Structure 1
Amino acid sequence: MMRTQAWKGAAFTVPFQLGFLFLYVVPIGYAVHQSLFTEHQSGLGLGGDSTTEFSGLDNYTKGFGDSAFTGSIGRVFLFACVQIPVMLVCALVLALLLDALTARLANRFRIALLVPYMIPGVVAAIVWINLYSPDVGPLTPFGHLFGLTWDFFAPSMVWPSIGNLLTWHGIGYNMVIVYAALQGVDRALFDAARVDGASELRIALSIKIPQVRGALVLTGMLSIIGMLQIFNEPMLFRHVTPQTVSDGFTPIMIIFNQAFNANNYHYAAALSVILAAVLGLASFLFYRLTTREAD
Structure 2
Amino acid sequence: MIRSLRWKGAAFTVPFQLGFVLLYLLPIGYAVYQSLYRSQSSGLGLGGTTDTFAGLDNYRQGLTDPAFMGSMLRVALFACVQIPVMLTVSLALALFLDTLTARAAGRFRLFLLVPYMIPGIVAAIVWVNLYSPDVGPLTPLGRLFGFDWNFFAPSMVWPSIGNLLTWGGIGYNMMIIYSALQGVPRELFEAARLDGASEIRIARSIKIPHVRGALVLTALLSIIHMLQIFNEPALFRRVTPQTVTDSFTPIMIIYNQAFNANNYNYAAALSVLLALILGIASFLFYRITSREVD
TM category (shorter chain) comes to over 0.9
Structure 1 letter corresponding to 2:84: P
1:152-199 CA distances to partner (integer Å, 9 max, x unpaired)?
A: 111111000000000001111111111111112111111111122211
Find the aligned partners of 1:88 and 1:44 in 2 and give their Cα distance: 55
Tell me if 1:19 matches 2:19.
yes
Q: CA RMSD in A?
A: 1.2
Which residue is equivalent to 1:91?
A: 90
1:239-287 CA distances to partner (integer Å, 9 max, x unpaired)?
A: 0000000000000000000000010000100000000000001111111
1:109-138 CA distances to partner (integer Å, 9 max, x unpaired)?
A: 100001111111111111111111111111
Find the aligned partners of 2:211 and 2:10 in 1 and give their Cα distance: 32
Superposed displacement of residue 15, structure 1: 2.3
Correspondence list, 1:253-264, <5 A: 253-264=252-263
Structure 2 letter corresponding to 1:201: I
Find the aligned partners of 2:242 and 2:43 in 1 and give their Cα distance: 33
Correspondence list, 1:1-295, <5 A: 1-45=1-45, 47-295=46-294
With structure 2 as the length reference, what TM-score do the two structures score? 0.97
Q: Which runs of 5+ in 1 are unaligned?
A: none
Find the aligned partners of 2:132 and 2:209 in 1 and give their Cα distance: 42
1:96-121 CA distances to partner (integer Å, 9 max, x unpaired)?
A: 10010000000001000011111111
Q: Which runs of 5+ in 2 are unaligned?
A: none
Structure 2 letter corresponding to 1:121: G
SS of alignment partner, residue 177 of structure 1:
helix
Superposed displacement of residue 4, structure 1: 4.1
Find the aligned partners of 1:286 and 1:3 in 2 and give their Cα distance: 41
Superposed displacement of residue 18, structure 1: 2.0
Find the aligned partners of 2:183 and 2:81 in 1 and give their Cα distance: 29
Aligned length: 294
Find the aligned partners of 2:174 and 2:43 in 1 and give their Cα distance: 57
Superposed displacement of residue 44, structure 1: 4.7
With structure 1 as the length reference, what TM-score do the two structures score? 0.97
Structure 2 letter corresponding to 1:36: L
